[in-house]
Amino acid sequence: MTMLDAGPTPELMSEAALRLQRWVSGCYPGPRDTALEIVAEPGADLGPLLDSGLVTEDTWIFADRETAAGLAGATPATVIPTDGSFRFSGDEIVLADEIYIQVFDYSSIGFLTVAGPTVVRITGDEDLAAFLADADRAVAEGVFPEQLAHPSVQLADLTALAASEVLGGASRLHLDEDGTLRTGPGAPAGAEAPEAVAALDGVLTPGLLAEAHAERPWLARYVRALDAVRRLNSRHPGSIQVSGFGVRFCEGLPAGPVEDVDAPLAVAVDGRPHVLLGAELRMFRVNREAAVVFDAYNAVAPEEAERLAAQALGFLPEAVRQLHTAVAERLGLPTGGAA
C-alpha cells in the first residue's frame, strides 16, 4: 500500500488530483471488473469492499484520515487521506492537506466565483432543468456556460449525463457510510437504494434524463463539446466556437449538432479553425478551405457534403473531393467522410 502520510510528493499529489478528477467526471476508457478509484464517505466501512476482489494495486482509495490509517497493510491500493465530502452543495474535500476542492450544485453556478478546483454536480430535477436550458442555449446561440468552461471547474457525472454506452463498470466507485456502493455520489444521505446503484439514480425522477435525451438527440454531443471547451481553455484560452453550436464553417449544414457523439470536433479558437480528434482532443490547425470541407463531411453524407462545400467555396466538386482526401489523410480519418 502507498499512503500519503509522511509528506506527499508533488508527483503523487498531481496523480491524486488527476485520479480524483476522472472519478468526478465518470469518464473511463471502458468497463472493468476492478476499481480504479474509490471515494469513501467519512466513517464508511471498507472491509467488505476490500474482500470483494474489486481492489487491486491499480486502485486509488480516497478515505477519511482514520479510515485511511486503518488500511495500513490491509490493501495493495494507494490510499489518500481526505477531509470532507462530495455529497452536498457547499461541501469541501481536502486531499492530504494539500488540495482543496469545493463542491456546488448546478443551480448555483450563476453565482459561482471560481477560486480553485471546483466540482459542479447535478443534485436534483431542478439542476437538470438548468443544465438542459444551458444546453439549449449552446445549440441556439453558441454560448457555453462561462463557469463550466473554466479550466478549474469539473462538471460531475459526464458519462451519466451523456448516457454513453461505454461505461466504466467497476472502475469508479463511491461508498456510502451505510455500505451502499454506487458509481458516484448519486443519492442523498438516508435514501433507500439497492446494493449497487448508478451515478444519478436516486437524484433524478426516474425516466427524466431519458426523456431529455429523447427530446434532444444531440445532448451527448453537447456534453462532449462542453468538456472540450473547458479543456481547451486550459491549453489555449480565448474565444472558442464549436461547429454545430451556433456556428458552422460550411453554409447549408444543419444548424444544430447532427454528428455522432464521438465524431471529431470542428472548432475555432480566436477565429482560427482547428479539428479536435479522439478522447484526448488532439488538436490540428487547418485553413479556412479545409475547415469548410471537413465540417461538411463530418456532418452529412459525402454526396451532400461535396455539394455544400463546393457551393460554399466556389470550387468544382473534383477539387472538393481532392481537398477532403488530403485533409482526411492528414488527420488519419477515413477518406469516405467522418459522418
Q: How many whole angstroms separate alpha carbon 34 and alpha carbon 42? A: 22
Q: How many whole angstroms separate alpha carbon 305 and alpha carbon 17? A: 43
For 85-142, the pLDDT digits (tens) are 887 788 899 998 889 999 999 999 888 888 899 999 999 999 999 999 999 999 999 9
Rounded to 5 degrees, what are φ and ψ at 89? Answer: -60, 135
Q: Which residues of 72-102 are buried (b: 16+ CB within 10 A; e: fewer)?
A: eeebebbbbbbebbbbebebebebbeebebb
Bridge partners of 275, per DSSP, are 266, 284
For 254-312, the pLDDT digits (tens) are 999 999 999 999 999 999 999 999 988 999 999 999 999 999 999 999 999 999 999 99
**Contact between residue 64 and residue 5 where contact means Cβ atoms under 8 Å apart:** no
- Nearest residue to 281 (alpha-carbon basis) of 12, 16, 15, 27: 27
- Nearest residue to 82 (alpha-carbon basis) of 38, 133, 32: 38
Residues in the chain: 339
Quote the pTM value: 0.91
Q: Where are the chain's structural domains?
A: 2-215, 237-331
Q: Given this model, what pLDDT does residue 193 score?
A: 37
Residue type, 234: S
For 51-93, the pLDDT digits (tens) are 999 999 999 999 999 999 999 888 999 999 999 988 778 889 9
